[in-house]
Chains A and B, each alone.
Chain A
């Protein structure tokens, strides 16, 4: 209603100067003009308003219909739960390989405590080498890799499994526990420091060994792609097998598409996981594509930057920020519809901060 009164008050005020100046010369025509204008305005207000009201419901309708049709499909697919299987299966392969080979690399490590950190991870050749040159502070930087050619020949085999150990151990837990519960746990950890440290050590031999070993193995492969393949190759058969049985039913009815609401759910989740590098120059124009391999449990197993050859440090930093999104706690696991593993096991996500900047 307030809109109506506002519109009425404006036109007469604008009309008056015209009529007053014209009335001295041609009174009749000006009266007619004024009357015509008034009638026109009156009609406009009368006819224009109902239109405004009509439009809104018409626009809302299709959206509502979409949501209704999509919902039942997503529910139907959830009837086949994957969770029990992926959780049990990954655990099984973890156990056997871990213990033996990794105990050996450790002994040489402890002797020099600082350099111990060095040996396992050292040789990531592609990145450090170029960087070492540019940084010439008074103390000459040396590539860390150079020193660390030390350790392990036995690692290649355990590689795959240790890595998965690392992936699964933490992610299984978040599923069960809330953030609040997790905080409590942290507090406990702080309170009982000595105990927990000791408690961890017996357990961690398994997880300790895998990570350095796995890392060594990563480093041996010169390119990230090679590492990726090595990682994926063994687990895939298991996971596909795991996925195949439960997904056989839901796959069929839905065809080869995720519904709009399912896509939105995933997109929305990723919004909360991607920490955008907004201060970067020309950040608005950045477009980063990440190819993600997702396990049947919805946990990203591997995220690879497409167009990784670019050397632009800003692109690389932004691309890594996008890749990190898939490993953020809020995005493990990804909110993907349970019965459509075949559709989302291999995702390509394009990140661009254009709506943010």
Chain B
């Protein structure tokens, strides 16, 4: 009996399947295709000058288009097309003729305009178009004073970057670094500040006191750094706009390697006492320091995870200089670097997925990244001296400095460079002179 029931059940199932198949068969099966590879090339983008009704506006329109172009080009993800090849003159004020832009292989198009508002301000408007889909991807307008045109251009470049890549841009940002000049024995080191593309360069200190390792606060309004201003090396805090500077606490011994917490309410740094260096966190409201590591080793260059839960730092507690991760409140630290050579200057990525570091191995310096658990180590660049990585706010690009060899009383030259997380697109950052210890600000919004 049970067997016959089973047979019946099976028969029913078979009939049902057959019925389903028959029902489906009249329609032609939809063709499905899997594409698991692609090309990695910069996207061709057309950025014609922004239209303006007066000569003055037109010039600003050209300038803005150039800065947007340069920003996007430097990212390595875009290839701005030569304006000479443009068929349509969108400056004439008409909507885009997509066929004309497809002709020159543009995949994206940026159109924009500038209008004087009568009160000395300008209204800058831009639109980003997908040429293939013939669709507007983004459109914004900004009203601002004329002298702000550069920032507007960076903000527009950020919007384009964000819409096309899905990630935040990093063009409306600034860099603080150590500008170096003079011979090796009297090397002058000054704090300098500039836009991410090298424009609007200014010196913040006069070079009388040696300064090192500047770092931005999350608001991008303050900088913490090491200065020899009072004779002994000490961590200082400086407001960019007011120029006001103060020493951070008055502890015996030397303090160095400062860095803000992601919320900006604490500064974590190293303090040397009796030959040992330990890590401290200082609450900026109460000015109370808290000791996070305890021992005779040299623990230094601490950096918070973006969620403030953990700190990565380097220590020679195991015999050689390696990277360790501990809770933000201190306690047991776990070693994460196990490759050959020494590791230093770890910096947690703003998006949390990676830690950048400097590595010294076999007489060469490297800039590399690894996951916070120490896995997936990748070395991005190698040279005689490369050091001091700092992340762009979107966690996709690193800046660092590269030094040459010194000799004959002449100091080694050093320059700033950026490199993409993929290890490609290495670019020099324009600075008036030698430069080291860069720090990338957050987005300036």
Q: Which residues of A contact B (CB under 8 A)?
A: 106, 109-110, 112-118, 120-122, 124, 127-128, 131-132, 135-145, 147, 163, 165-166, 169-170, 173, 186, 189-190, 196-197, 200, 204, 207-208, 211-212, 214-215, 218-219, 224, 256-258, 263, 266-267, 270-281, 303, 312-318, 320-329, 342-344, 346-356
Q: In the complex the two chains form, what is the Cα distance from A347 to B396 in whole Å? A: 34
Q: Which one of B40, B51, B135 lies within 8 Å of A117 (CB-CB)?
A: B51
| Residues from chain B with Cβ under 8 Å of A315 in the complex | 166
Q: How far is the CB of A17 from chain B (nearest CB, A)?
A: 30
Assess whether B37 is interfacial by the CB under 8 Å rule.
yes
A170 contacts B99, C-beta separation under 8 Å: yes
| Residues from chain B with Cβ under 8 Å of A137 in the complex | 142, 151-152, 155, 172, 444-445
| Residues from chain B with Cβ under 8 Å of A314 in the complex | 165-167
| Residues from chain B with Cβ under 8 Å of A116 in the complex | 93-95
Q: Number of residue pairs across A and B with beta carbons under 8 Å?
A: 279
Q: In the complex the two chains form, what is the Cα distance from A349 to B34 in whole Å? A: 6
Q: Which secondary structure dominates chain A's binding surface?
A: helix
Shortest 3 CB-CB contacts between residues of A and residues of B: A327-B132, A114-B113, A317-B166
Q: How far is the CB of B396 from chain A (nearest CB, A)?
A: 5
B134 contacts A328, C-beta separation under 8 Å: no
| Residues from chain A with Cβ under 8 Å of B96 in the complex | 117, 121, 211
| Residues from chain B with Cβ under 8 Å of A275 in the complex | 38-41, 43, 107
A320 contacts B137, C-beta separation under 8 Å: yes
Q: In the complex the two chains form, what is the Cα distance from A92 to B40 in whole Å? A: 39
B95 contacts A117, C-beta separation under 8 Å: yes
| Residues from chain B with Cβ under 8 Å of A279 in the complex | 77, 165, 167, 396, 420-422
- Chain B minimum-CB-distance residue to A269: B35
Q: How far is the CB of A82 from chain B (nearest CB, A)?
A: 17
B98 contacts A271, C-beta separation under 8 Å: no
Q: In the complex the two chains form, what is the Cα distance from A270 to B113 in whole Å? A: 36
Q: Which one of A124, A303, A346 lies within 8 Å of B31 (CB-CB)?
A: A346
| Residues from chain A with Cβ under 8 Å of B420 in the complex | 279
| Residues from chain A with Cβ under 8 Å of B144 in the complex | 138-139
A274 contacts B38, C-beta separation under 8 Å: yes
A281 contacts B40, C-beta separation under 8 Å: no
Q: Which secondary structure dominates chain B's binding surface?
A: mixed
Q: In the complex the two chains form, what is the Cα distance from A306 to B51 in whole Å? A: 37
A135 contacts B139, C-beta separation under 8 Å: no
| Residues from chain A with Cβ under 8 Å of B103 in the complex | 170, 173
B165 contacts A317, C-beta separation under 8 Å: yes
> Given A128-B138, A141-B140, A211-B99, does the pair A271, B93 have CB atoms closer than 8 Å?
no
New contact pairs (10) apart from A276-B39, A317-B165, CB-CB < 8 Å = A114-B51, A117-B111, A121-B95, A121-B127, A137-B151, A211-B96, A258-B31, A278-B40, A324-B107, A352-B36
Interface size class of B (residues with CB under 8 A): 35 or more
- Chain B minimum-CB-distance residue to A110: B93
| Residues from chain B with Cβ under 8 Å of A115 in the complex | 93, 113, 115, 125
| Residues from chain A with Cβ under 8 Å of B100 in the complex | 200, 204, 207
B93 contacts A114, C-beta separation under 8 Å: yes
| Residues from chain A with Cβ under 8 Å of B274 in the complex | none
Q: Which one of B28, B30, B43, B137 lies within 8 Å of A348 (CB-CB)?
A: B30
Q: How far is the CB of A274 from chain B (nearest CB, A)?
A: 3
Q: How far is the CB of B14 from chain A (nearest CB, A)?
A: 23
Q: How far is the CB of B388 from chain A (nearest CB, A)?
A: 22
> Given A114-B113, A275-B41, A317-B164, does the pair A124, B445 have CB atoms closer than 8 Å?
no
> Given A131-B138, A329-B105, does the pair A256, B29 have CB atoms closer than 8 Å?
yes
Q: Which one of B83-91, B225-233, B375-383, B431-439 contacts A? A: B83-91
| Residues from chain B with Cβ under 8 Å of A196 in the complex | 87
B135 contacts A218, C-beta separation under 8 Å: yes
A353 contacts B38, C-beta separation under 8 Å: yes
| Residues from chain A with Cβ under 8 Å of B389 in the complex | none
A113 contacts B104, C-beta separation under 8 Å: no
Q: In the complex the two chains form, what is the Cα distance from A113 to B112 in whole Å? A: 11
In the complex, 26 of the A-B residue pairs with CB atoms within 8 angstroms, ordered by the A residue number, are A114-B52, A116-B94, A117-B90, A124-B136, A127-B137, A131-B159, A142-B141, A144-B125, A144-B140, A166-B97, A170-B103, A207-B99, A211-B98, A218-B135, A256-B29, A267-B34, A271-B37, A274-B38, A316-B166, A317-B165, A317-B166, A324-B133, A325-B38, A327-B133, A346-B30, A349-B32
**Could you mark each residue 377-417 of chain B with 1 if its beta carbon is under 8 Å from any beta carbon of chain A, else 0?**
00000000000000000011000000000000000000000
| Residues from chain A with Cβ under 8 Å of B125 in the complex | 114-115, 118, 144
Q: In the complex the two chains form, what is the Cα distance from A141 to B138 in whole Å? A: 12
| Residues from chain A with Cβ under 8 Å of B444 in the complex | 137
> Given A116-B94, A117-B51, A169-B99, does the pair A274, B39 have CB atoms closer than 8 Å?
yes
B166 contacts A280, C-beta separation under 8 Å: yes
Assess whether B130 is interfacial by the CB under 8 Å rule.
yes
**Could you mark each residue 194-230 of chain B with 1 if its beta carbon is under 8 Å from any beta carbon of chain A, else 0?**
0000000000000000000000000000000000000
A267 contacts B136, C-beta separation under 8 Å: no
B166 contacts A127, C-beta separation under 8 Å: no
Assess whether B317 is interfacial by the CB under 8 Å rule.
no
Assess whether B12 is interfacial by the CB under 8 Å rule.
no
B38 contacts A271, C-beta separation under 8 Å: yes
| Residues from chain B with Cβ under 8 Å of A277 in the complex | 165-166
Assess whether B292 is interfacial by the CB under 8 Å rule.
no
- Chain B minimum-CB-distance residue to A137: B155
Q: Which one of B37, B92, B151 lies within 8 Å of A355 (CB-CB)?
A: B37
Q: Which one of A142, A145, A200 lies within 8 Å of B87 (CB-CB)?
A: A200
Q: How far is the CB of B427 from chain A (nearest CB, A)?
A: 15
Assess whether B176 is interfacial by the CB under 8 Å rule.
no
A318 contacts B166, C-beta separation under 8 Å: yes
Q: In the complex the two chains form, what is the Cα distance from A61 to B57 in whole Å? A: 70
Q: Which one of A142, A328, A351 lies within 8 Å of B132 (CB-CB)?
A: A328
| Residues from chain B with Cβ under 8 Å of A127 in the complex | 136-139
Q: How far is the CB of B373 from chain A (nearest CB, A)?
A: 16
Assess whether B287 is interfacial by the CB under 8 Å rule.
no
| Residues from chain B with Cβ under 8 Å of A207 in the complex | 97, 99-100
A347 contacts B33, C-beta separation under 8 Å: yes
Assess whether B308 is interfacial by the CB under 8 Å rule.
no
| Residues from chain B with Cβ under 8 Å of A211 in the complex | 95-99, 134
B166 contacts A313, C-beta separation under 8 Å: yes
| Residues from chain A with Cβ under 8 Å of B163 in the complex | 317
Q: In the complex the two chains form, what is the Cα distance from A316 to B252 in whole Å? A: 54
Assess whether B175 is interfacial by the CB under 8 Å rule.
no
Q: In the complex the two chains form, what is the Cα distance from A323 to B164 in whole Å? A: 12
| Residues from chain A with Cβ under 8 Å of B37 in the complex | 271, 274, 276, 353, 355-356
